[in-house]
Structure 1
């Protein structure tokens, strides 16, 4: 006990020092954002049916997280802003200096010292590592902040194939199973690209890492019973049998063993270091973000987003973007009840290794369900059914085959998604014979994020000399 108490005291001191640094870094913008939230409590959009006086929100900050369905959200923001003539805060290239923290200076056309009147930005939505202080230099504090999270088990599968050549930790491992069986044999923090290999969501949200996570080098061990964790997740829109699940059975805590101490990897943990730090981080995110969507309940999240923004369902209906071949199978492998013991163990290891992301997922999954309860489950079911019917009708009208296709069939470079990683990224081919109006709208629905960014860039900053589109300029999404 005498040896343990100083160590525990040191961990606590490290946590409070890190929190103190974070408060110093975020203090001013946090207060601005908190004041804005308190002011809007009386006039925030209701989760009841929209009133006639409801005005569409058009100042938006979307934190685009990696491998979480965020490209599909980006497409609906591109389309909405494009149709309504809104001004995007665009990166000079395709990302805002990622993986570095966002800096306002990386926004194209942002020159606060020039003396000229700055045109306001309406939407900030491209890849960045979140940095509230700098975001508020570009966007007003009354903007609607939102993001999306995904089950770390599904995210790990997608990230491993997508970033196999980018992350040295993934590149060294022969398979995801081998990597998760002994992560420390492959993973070294701080190595270029390795932020993709652990707690990618936490990283994207711009949160600092707990002191313990920076210093511990022990491997994670799991209980022998592979059924100790059963996370029942049914992907949104998985088929006619899909339904809204009971949140009480959706998430359960994971326990891991590190350095001989049992550590519950959830926000209810009694561990002074990691748990207190996680709870602080989640509370801070709650104070900043108005809504955090959940990838496994994508359509339900879209309905809640449309309600919060006072938009119509047509504003949020769209096609899936940046989906990899076999995406549905990987999503199902992360959450259904027909998995093998090996599948369950792989999922549990992925969640334990990405314990901070798991805490994020649990927290925002619960907050989403709280909003669903307020909105009304029957009302939500009707809206989700209508959303899916509209999507299906658009797909049949716009797309060859009515669905996403292998990129080998996509000859139009403006519609062919950027191919990155070891798995093919699906895209769309438009039907022939569409009317000019339908052709324009179908192109918006089918255009990948990088090409759409170029389109918006050319619209806001017309080039003096027309240049052909070059895929060699594309960067990793």
Structure 2
């Protein structure tokens, strides 16, 4: 009797107060289904998200073919010659060093005292011979080995790049038409080639761009009369001081040799063409090669907003006879080029032609893959004024347009950072590295100095240029008379224009403003 009473009470509690049994069964079934669905959803979600979140720069292809047990070189000196694809090479050095937090031997401005022979005190933060460990040096300089050795460690790897002097002359004429007096006087490059001495005066500033420019950049006398003995001594000097000389006409092969010499991963030498000039319309004289350095002159060109409008494009058309005359005019460069072009192919023979072809193919495929991921419009370079982000617009100057790139939208942070490094123009990249290495000095009345000098009106003041190639600080203009300096306005070599009432501090903080 007692047992029956307790059973009825239990049924009353379950069915009356807590609901019928079928409801509990349904609830338990629903919870089980929901849990299983959530578990399966997590599994499927992980399998679908993981590949998308993985950056292309972390894939096995980024390393490239095995290099064995060698260790990467971290002490590197690159002689950045003019009009030889050297800006693209410098971008690789900037990327490699930034990713590994290496210290750069940066200039006070944008060049290491060029066109004067390099002096160690041109390096920002230099405190005496090897007092500070610098890893990478690569901005424009006129080579001076004893001074370089004061800055760079004894185990530094030295290399440079050269180009056919005729192609180099075409690019140099297009860029420095309004800077080099010899070019400015000539109607076109062919006119100059027919009689260079009619236009060339070795005493005039910036005429070094018009003759034996490679010879000059390597620190030798570019106006010396050609002799075989002199040419051979110059080649011997370059061989003693540089472990590798690249050739811009064979850029991809050069990158493979450089990768093996430095023991670097493949992605470190994959690049997009930087500072390339827009090719002229077919109706105007042709020009070979699209590798160029920074622009030369602002005469006749508007640079506001990154949109340049050249009045007249330089005529670069040449006959075969005129090309031969340019080789004779640049005889020292021509001898240098022939000697190291031969050495270059001897290096490839030792490397193995079949292996070189395979690795060049991998390099090009990797470049295409990265362009597809990183760049808009299929990776095609675009005019600067079409680039929406002003921080990656290439500096515009001279009589030709410099092209740049736009990033693909929607990239994850890791991929976007790596892609941005590959397309960041040289001037902006140098500013980024400078800001990382050095704290900004306080300005007048405790206000910080901005990286890009803001919009200032100079009333009766002078403008000075940081790191002038002659004296370091010189007058650029006289009485300004209310002239306005736009944000980031620069002289022809990329140096900032600043007010002279900001005096330069000497001594340890040389080059800082106060």
* 1:396 equivalent in alignment to 2:372: yes
For the 8 Å contact 2:76–2:135, the answer to whether it is kept is yes
Which structure has the larger Rg? Answer: 2
The alignment partner of 2:404 has SS state of: coil
For the 8 Å contact 2:88–2:271, the answer to whether it is kept is yes
The alignment partner of 2:390 has SS state of: coil
Figure out how many residues of one structure are paired with residues of the other and give that number.
360
Corresponding residue of 1:472: 489
How far apart, in 2, do the equivalents of 1:355 and 1:194 lie?
16
Change (3 A) 1:198 1:177: same
The equivalent position to 1:131 in structure 2, one of 144, 164, 188, is 144
Higher RCO, Cα 8 Å, sep 6+: 1
How far apart, in 1, do the equivalents of 2:68 and 2:229 lie?
44
* 1:315 equivalent in alignment to 2:248: no
The equivalent position to 1:87 in structure 2, one of 98, 103, 109, is 103
Corresponding residue of 1:109: 125
Structure 2 unaligned blocks of 5 or more: 1-64, 292-316, 442-447, 453-486, 495-514
* 1:431 equivalent in alignment to 2:408: yes
Structure 1 unaligned blocks of 5 or more: 1-48, 214-273, 335-340
The equivalent position to 2:162 in structure 1, one of 149, 157, 172, is 149
The equivalent position to 2:346 in structure 1, one of 356, 359, 370, is 370
The equivalent position to 1:286 in structure 2, one of 218, 235, 239, is 239
Alignment map for 1:256-267 (pairs within 5 Å): none
For the 8 Å contact 2:383–2:402, the answer to whether it is kept is yes
Q: How far is 1:356 from its partner?
A: 0.9
* 1:360 equivalent in alignment to 2:377: no
For the 8 Å contact 2:73–2:157, the answer to whether it is kept is yes
The alignment partner of 1:67 has SS state of: coil
How far apart, in 2, do the equivalents of 1:53 and 1:420 lie?
46
Alignment map for 1:119-268 (pairs within 5 Å): 119-209=132-222, 211-212=224-225
Give the superposed CA RMSD. 2.1
For the 8 Å contact 1:50–1:307, the answer to whether it is kept is no
Q: How far is 1:476 from its partner?
A: 1.8
For the 8 Å contact 1:94–1:474, the answer to whether it is kept is no
Alignment map for 1:46-57 (pairs within 5 Å): 52-57=68-73
Corresponding residue of 1:441: 418
Corresponding residue of 1:384: 360
The alignment partner of 1:171 has SS state of: helix
For the 8 Å contact 1:292–1:364, the answer to whether it is kept is yes
Select between 449-458 and 318-327 the one with higher mean Cα deviation: 318-327
Q: How far is 1:296 from its partner?
A: 0.2
The alignment partner of 1:414 has SS state of: helix
Q: How far is 1:431 from its partner?
A: 1.2
TM-score (norm 2): 0.67
TM-score (norm 1): 0.72
Q: How far is 1:141 from its partner?
A: 2.6
For the 8 Å contact 2:193–2:323, the answer to whether it is kept is no
For the 8 Å contact 1:65–1:204, the answer to whether it is kept is yes
* 1:419 equivalent in alignment to 2:402: no
How far apart, in 1, do the equivalents of 2:188 and 2:337 lie?
24
The alignment partner of 1:145 has SS state of: strand
Change (3 A) 1:313 1:343: farther
Change (3 A) 1:60 1:134: same
* 1:408 equivalent in alignment to 2:385: yes
Q: How far is 1:50 from its partner?
A: 5.9
For the 8 Å contact 2:78–2:160, the answer to whether it is kept is yes
Q: How far is 1:190 from its partner?
A: 2.1
* Structure 1 outlier segments of 4+, above 4 Å: none
Q: Residue by residue, what CA displacement relative to the aligned partner does 1:204-253 show, whole Å, maximum 9, x if unpaired?
A: 0001347436xxxxxxxxxxxxxxxxxxxxxxxxxxxxxxxxxxxxxxxx
Q: How far is 1:407 from its partner?
A: 1.2
